[in-house]
Amino acid sequence: MRLLATERPGVKRWPGFAPYVQAWQAMQAFTEGRTLDTPDQLWLVEHSPVYTLGQAGKPEHLLNPGQIPVVKSDRGGQVTYHGPGQVVVYVLADLKRTGLTIRAMVQALEEAVIGTLADYGLSDACRKPGAPGVYLPQDGDLAKIAALGIKVRKGCTYHGVALNVDMDLSPFDGINPCGYEGLKTISMASEGVAADWDEVAVSLAGKIINQARLRVE
Please tell me the distance from the alpha carbon of residue 187 to that of residue 179, in angstroms, as a whole number: 19
CA 159 to chain centroid: 7
Asked about 156 being catalytic, the answer comes back as: no
Q: Which of 11, 112, 178, 205 is catalytic?
A: 178
Three-class secondary structure assignment of 153-217: ECCEEEEEEEEECCCCCHHHHHECHHHCCCCCECCCCCCCCCCCHHHHHHHHHHHHHHHCCCCCC
The helix or strand, by DSSP H or E, that contains position 112, with its residue range, turns out to be helix 102-119
Residue type, 76: G
**Which of 181, 115, 150 has its CA nearest to residue 31?**
150
A 10 A CB-CB count for 84 gives 14
Q: Indicate the pairing of strand 41-47 with strand 86-94.
A: antiparallel
* Active-site amino acid positions: 178
